[in-house]
Chains A and B, each alone.
Chain A
């Protein structure tokens, strides 16, 4: 593998694969789907060269269950797909959460519902942040907005997954996945510093009590206790790992909230609004779960009066903005769906409308 700090021009999907390998991922199980194809192809090419395993599964369901098995066996493992394929993985992700198995799931989103389309979208926000699969659980969801962040966040996703014994998701979209940008690749992860996995099912070697990887609890009290314990971990994740980027927010009265591809468009619109004298800033959530509530509270304390959620869907994250704002400011939404991207001018128009309403209200 190449030098650890080189700066290269790469496609987002390939960077996810390269950075995952540098994070110590040696097992990849997947199934073909657009627009994440380059990721699997890169893994198929590179993993065997470093002693890893790439396996094209018979289905998304099989792929996620292979991930579950490899995770149970103690490996750093991942799978990737796009929206319709991620739906199929829901069963396995739920089992992984229930059995406390770490692993990384990549969703390079496309438009939906149903077969939808193959253009960029953020219409799986609910699915990702409200538990991908049945049952009481969450998982860390990281949303890159640049190719650089594809590298940084998948690296982080593996660490969060191992530290908290949970599946973790990269929620990207077809735009970030397909675009090329310069990227500084992360160094090879020092695997000796990974958390030990004494729970892994890799054979007792007649040296310890047998390990069981399981999510079945026929006693409701035991299941409740297990879920309580898991939610204590979630509380710690919420406390320690809310991440966001703030731009021009210090004196912002209007805060545009946008992640991933939508944030790139919103960024331009916010700058243009500033140029017109509107006190406007950008909050870009990097963690979608846990949602950056602390940052929103801080903005409210600083005098933010209006929040505008800009998304590539019909309005999903806006619910989290409302929950975090909790009635302390007005919240509105603007989005395009089906793979259509809003222009910065469209977003600017929304900001200006809000600014005019504020003036009228005063």
Chain B
């Protein structure tokens, strides 16, 4: 169980951000979530995948759903997640996780099914699967890691790479006049009727990590409650392929990523007073007679 740890002093920027410091002599209790296996991950030092994996694991533990959870990890840095998680796992082709998740969920609606996807996967090669799983209102949970680069293949331009960002395949900086603009997935998906909940979070500080966990928990809870499709976009770092130290990567994220990808809730039908995405969709189409057919009296 929990091994007491020595007091930790947070780096300055985090202290500044959360406005508090861990007191002298205070201990932080920490234990491996049950759903995480006891293996060393393949994530690079300083990579935020590890944090998000951990948050997903804590949420699965806290909701007590390990036994009925099925995770889908498609091609990308997170593809080896089947080694890290104790719940049933499926490895999927690049971009296809939402379709695979659909297959699993349709066979076992009582299972909790999540897809964990990167930006190249979710927002480029798998755009169709992403958009259509969302608009169908598949009752699945999607964790979207947006670190503005292809990590596993060594740092190519991603659909979410920022304008002028230098990558292996945009060596002179992303030239938007030639290759177009980054995709803002949360904003895009929030327009779709099948979507119950979309929030963009990050994990550059303790406060943001706590917020990210809250969002991830909500996205899983929504599925348990049958509310509709839920996605949490995590603005993340890739120190290795950004060519930065982890600290500088967080700094770059705050200076460049967050202004382009503002944090916040983009859609939350429950907060808007609806029972689920379907009810919200019905209201939105209230002037369309055919869409109102079958509406309960």
Q: A58-B128, A69-B92 are in contact. List 5 more A-B contacts (CB 8 A).
A: A67-B103, A69-B100, A70-B106, A72-B90, A73-B104
- Which of A53, A55, A202 is in CB contact (< 8 Å) with B88? A202
A69 touches B68 (CB 8 A): no
* Residue B108 interfacial (CB < 8 Å): yes
Residues of A within 8 A of B66 (CB): 204, 206
A356 within 8 A of B: no
Interface hit among B78-86, B168-176, B246-254, B289-297: B78-86
**Contact status of A69 and B90, CB under 8 A, knowing A57-B99, A62-B96, A201-B70:** yes
Q: In chain B, residues 120-164, which have Cβ atoms closer than 8 Å to a Cβ of chain A?
A: 128-129, 131-132
B88 touches A211 (CB 8 A): yes
Question: Which 3 pairs show the lowest CB-CB distances between chains A and B?
Answer: A69-B103, A65-B99, A69-B100
**Contact A65 B106, beta carbon cutoff 8 Å:** no
Q: Which residues of B contact A204 (CB under 8 A)?
A: 66-67, 86-88
Question: Which of A91-99, A226-234, A343-351 lies at the interface?
Answer: A91-99
User: Once bound together, how far apart are the Cα atoms of A214 and B72, in whole Å?
Assistant: 10
Q: How far is the CB of A334 from chain B (nearest CB, A)?
A: 40
For B96, what are the chain A residues with a Cβ–Cβ distance below 8 Å? 61-62, 65, 68, 91-92
CA distance A213 to B87 in the complex (A): 12
Query: For residue A337, which residues in chain B have a CB less than 8 angstroms away from its CB?
Result: none
Q: How far is the CA of A211 from the CA of B89 in the complex (A)?
A: 6
Looking at the assembled complex, report how far the CB atom of A131 sits from the nearest CB atom of chain B, in whole angstroms. 16
| B91 part of interface (Cβ distance < 8 Å) | yes
A204 to B87, CA, bound (A): 6
Number of A-B contacts (CB under 8 A): 135
The reply to whether B107 and A92 contact each other, CB–CB distance below 8 Å, is: no
- Known contacts A53-B106, A210-B87, A216-B79: does B70 contact A202 (CB below 8 Å)? yes
Shortest CB distance B151–A (Å): 16
Beta-carbon contact of A73 and B92 below 8 Å: no
On chain B, the residues within 8 Å of A215 by CB distance are: 91
- Decide yes or no whether A212 CB sits under 8 A from chain B: yes
A residues 85-143 near B (Cβ < 8 Å) are 91-92, 95, 99
- Best-surrounded residue of A72, A75, A206 (most CB of chain B within 10 A): A72
Please report the C-alpha to C-alpha distance between residue A58 and residue B101 in the assembled complex, in whole angstroms: 14
Chain B interface, >50% SS class: helix
Whether B93 contacts A69 by the Cβ 8 Å rule is no
Find out whether the CB atom of B99 lies under 8 angstroms from the CB atom of A201: no
Verify if A280 is at the interface (C-beta below 8 Å from B): no
Given A206-B67, A216-B79: A70 and B91 interface contact (C-beta under 8 Å): no
Which residues of A does B touch, CB under 8 Å? Answer: 27, 29, 53, 55, 57-59, 61-63, 65-75, 77, 91-92, 95, 99, 201-207, 210-216
Complex alpha-carbon distance, A216 and B42, angstroms: 14
Indicate whether A203 sits within 8 Å of B103 (C-beta atoms), given known contacts A58-B132, A62-B132, A91-B93.
no
Q: How far is the CA of A57 from the CA of B111 in the complex (A)?
A: 21
Given known A66-B106, A73-B107, contact A212–B100 (CB-CB < 8 A): no
> Looking at the complex, which one of B68, B107, B128 makes contact with A70 (CB distance below 8 Å)?
B107
> How far, in Å, is B247 (CB) from chain A's closest CB?
30
Q: Which residue of B lies closest to A94 (CB)?
A: B93
- CA of A70 to CA of B107 in the docked complex: distance in angstroms? 6
Chain A neighbourhood of B240, CB < 8 A: none
Q: Are B103 and A71 in contact (CB under 8 A)?
A: yes
* Closest B residue to A216 using CB positions: B91
| Chain A nearest CB, measured from B273 CB (Å) | 30
Complex Cα–Cα for A214 and B103 (A): 15
Interface core residue of A99, A206, A210 (most chain B CB under 10 Å): A210
Q: Which residues of B contact A201 (CB under 8 A)?
A: 70, 88-90, 104
A204 to B92, CA, bound (A): 19
Known A65-B93, A69-B101; contact A203-B106, beta-carbon cutoff 8 A: no
Min CB–CB distance B58 → chain A (angstroms): 17
Q: Are B90 and A213 in contact (CB under 8 A)?
A: yes
With both beta carbons as reference points, the residue of chain A lying nearest to B72 in the complex is identified as A69
In angstroms, Cα B69 to Cα A29, docked, is 23
Which residue of chain B has the shortest Cβ distance to A95 in the bound complex? B93
A-B contacts, 9 listed (Cβ < 8 Å): A69-B101, A70-B104, A73-B111, A74-B107, A201-B70, A203-B68, A212-B88, A212-B91, A214-B82
Our pick among A59, A61, A77, A206 for the contact of B103 (Cβ within 8 Å) is A77
Contact indicator A58/B129 (Cβ below 8 Å): yes
> With A and B bound together, what is the CA distance between A95 and B97 in angstroms?
12
Which residues in A have their C-beta under 8 angstroms from that of B98?
62
Contact among A62, A73, A213 for B91, CB-based, below 8 A? A213
B99–A69 touching, CB < 8 Å: yes
In the bound complex, how far is the Cα of B90 from the Cα of A213, in angstroms? 5
Residues of chain B lying within 8 A (CB to CB) of residue A71 = 103
Closest to A200 in B: B88
Asked whether A210 lies within 8 Å of B88 as measured between CB atoms, the reply is yes
